[in-house]
Chain A
Amino acid sequence: MTDASLNTPAHSGKQLSQADAHTKKRNAAEKRFRAYGLSAILIGLFFLVVLFTSIIRSGLPAFTRTVVDVEFTLTQEQFDAAEKELFKTKAYSNLFIAELQGKLGEKGVEVEFDEKAIERLLGKVGSTIREHYKENPDTLGAPVRFELAASSRVDGYFKGRVTRDTLQDSRFLQLSDLDLVDALEEAGVIKQAFNWTFITGTDSGVDNPGGAGIGASVVGSFFMMLVVLALSLPIGVAASIYLEEFAPQNKFTDLIEVNISNLAAVPSIVFGILGLAVFIQFMHLPQSAPLVGGLVLTLMTLPTIIISTRASLKSVPPSIREAALGVGASKMQTVFHHVLPLAMPGILTGTIIGLAQALGETAPLLLIGMVGFVARGYPEGFAQGFTEANSAMPAQIYTWAARADVSFYEKAWGGIIILLAFLLTMNIIAIILRRRFERRW
């Protein structure tokens, strides 16, 4: 039998169109493997879709707000009369109420309401109007459009957070106010508008979710990223070039290499506590400042940049180095004229990925006081951007998510959309840079 199988191969004498048992088994195994792979990808995609739909569904409402949009005309006489009153803002809000009632009457909508209800809905309308006319007296007599933000409860009523069944009468909102809201909606006075405050604004206190914006923390993140980029790119690239191209191979450089790989795996909160100890407690740098945040994130990003830079230096074919050395280039000329340009796409990609990681990092910011900080204003100038206390995007999101009022929850989701938009932009830049610098050799 052995002889026979030696002389005649197993597949001899069979037709090619007829698969034998062995081939069938192989093909079945391949089919199974493809099915596993495909289902793994589908499961991944499913979670991705779930993640994105839930982020977008929960986050989109943060980008709109409920406003009362009225066109209002105040004559010089009305202005003078109101300014003579004892309670001036009350006079203005009475004028506003009269205007509103007129509007509702025009549309044939009937509803009873008083000044208190308007205050619960829109806050201090009178002072807003008075301030406008005191600052712009020339608009007296002409129609002016006021877009007055509704309170967060009313906003919640429109977005489904507050319903008639769950609402309990309080000094913030009463059941009867919802009748007024419905009437205003019928008259087309109250509506949804794009919430620019959320994008350009600063953080508000815990009692004013409507006024909260992510703008200040975007600026904080921007200054942090400037610090990270300015420090980690040159330090990381210089360290990698030295280690990869110049350092002798010995125990000491091996030790450094192992430690760099280990550093990349150190939990980020450890870098946070290091930053707290070194930069704040020892060097007395200002707390919550983007400068300190940037320094801490630099420590975190360096290993990532070093590892990716070394990998891309390694991937430059040695024949290029030989060619350069062969025509008499020095070691340094070889590296800077030939190796580095070829490694550039990899270095840039690694750097941007490192930056993107740093941008989303929250834990180290916890320890240097950027989480929980209420960034109520923008930095005054460029230099102050580094040193003035500020928040950062992920820290701001965390702060909102931790607040009791449910309308902050929506802000947290909205913040995540903005953070993801930045990350996506950075990744696209990385891809473009890689395409642009990539060369065949």
Chain B
Amino acid sequence: MYDAPRSTENTVSTEDIKFECTDCQVYYGDNHAIKDVSVKIEDKTVTAFIGPSGCGKSTFLRCLNRMNDTIDVARIEGSFLLDGQDIYDRKVDPVQLRAKVGMVFQKPNPFPKSIYDNIAYGPRIHGLARSKADLDEIVEKSLRRGAIWDEVKDRLHAPGTGLSGGQQQRLCIARAIATEPEVLLMDEPCSALDPIATAQVEELIDELRAQYSVVIVTHSMQQAARVSQKTAFFHLGNLVEYDETSKIFTNPEDPRTESYITGRIG
């Protein structure tokens, strides 16, 4: 049921698998938060994680760039392969992994620095720019891809915290893009935004799909339906169903998925 994604007109599907996770378990102390989850996340695709709150969507997402490493009580088991390489291997440095797997958080969290420095920070610490001109170029490119260049090009040295919520979130997306990642993880990126800002971010996500594998956690089923090609439904730590978005929303196989989508659990 998880294999062989069929192509629909909605998908820019290649058969490339970016992430292959098998039998993943996450424990927070005694709390078994992720149970036996196996999933294959495709490249150049938007994958949505949906499910009732507390079901483990964020937890699973944070496993993909090892953000859970910073939580003392978290214990992770199973295999997470990024392009065939185990990201929890001893030899993998989470710092390098996070440059390749960027993350955007629920609440826009720009650094209390200038817009320019917000974008330039990642490339600087990873040594991606050899000169000031290089860096300027990266900043411009990232802001353009983050669909915010036109709004901030005249005030690159104004504080990033002075932007509106939606602009801040696009700035954060641009910041994640600046380190040239292959995967972008977004944890409810629009939950703190108004409908107009949400529409802008969704549009941006759709554009990003051309280059990246995007995984988005959302509590809004309409959003999942709008932006994603694949949808995973989580419930109480289990991955209940994972399929084409159109299939999940029109013809789910599991009764739990159906009752969630029709609003009976959630």
Contacts and interface: CB of A to CB of B under 8 A. Distances in A.
Contact of B99 (A322, A328, A440, A441): A328
B105 A319 contact: yes
B102 interface: yes
Interface in A326-363: 326-330, 333, 337-338, 342
Given A326-B65, A327-B121, A328-B126, A320 B176 contact: no
Interface in B16-65: 65
B170 interface: no
A342 B112 CA distance: 9
Given A326-B65, A326-B176, A320 B109 contact: yes
Interface in B45-102: 65, 67, 70, 72, 95-99, 102
B179 A323 contact: no
Contacts of B252: none
A118 interface: no
A421 B172 CA distance: 48
B67 A328 contact: no
A262 interface: no
Nearest to B97: A328
A11 interface: no
B225 to A, nearest CB: 27
Interface in B186-200: none
A329 B122 CA distance: 7
Contacts of A325: 67, 70, 98
B145 interface: no
A48 to B, nearest CB: 37
B186 to A, nearest CB: 11
Contact of A440 (B96, B109, B112): B112
A57 B44 CA distance: 81
B111 A324 contact: yes
Nearest to B160: A441
B122 A328 contact: yes
A327 B113 CA distance: 15
Interface in A387-428: none
B121 A322 contact: no
Contacts of B133: none
Nearest to A341: B112
Q: How large is the interface on A (under 10, 10 to 19, 20 to 34, 35 or more residues)?
A: 20 to 34
A249 interface: yes
A377 interface: no
Nearest to A342: B112
Interface residues of B, number: 28
B110 A333 contact: no
A251 interface: no
A249 B72 CA distance: 8
A328 to B, nearest CB: 4
Name the residue among A249, A328, A338, A440 with the largest chain B CB count within 10 angstroms.
Answer: A328
Contacts of B72: 248-249
A84 interface: no
Contacts of A329: 95, 121, 125
B103 interface: yes
B110 A323 contact: yes
A163 to B, nearest CB: 66
A143 B65 CA distance: 89
A319 B95 contact: no
Contacts of B105: 319, 322-323, 326
B223 interface: no
B125 A328 contact: yes
Contact of B111 (A248, A249, A320, A328): A320
A330 B95 contact: yes
A439 interface: yes
Contacts of B104: 326
B92 to A, nearest CB: 13
Contacts of A328: 95-99, 122, 125-126, 179
Given A326-B105, A327-B176, A328-B179, A441 B122 contact: no
Contacts of A320: 109, 111-112
Interface of A: 248-249, 317, 319-330, 333, 337-338, 342, 439-441
7 contacts: A322-B109, A323-B172, A325-B70, A328-B98, A328-B99, A439-B112, A441-B161
Given A327-B102, A329-B125, 16 more contacts: A317-B109, A321-B70, A322-B105, A322-B109, A323-B110, A323-B172, A325-B67, A326-B105, A327-B121, A327-B122, A327-B125, A328-B97, A328-B126, A328-B179, A330-B95, A337-B121
| 5 nearest A-B pairs in the assembled complex, by CB-CB distance | A328-B99, A327-B122, A319-B109, A328-B98, A326-B103
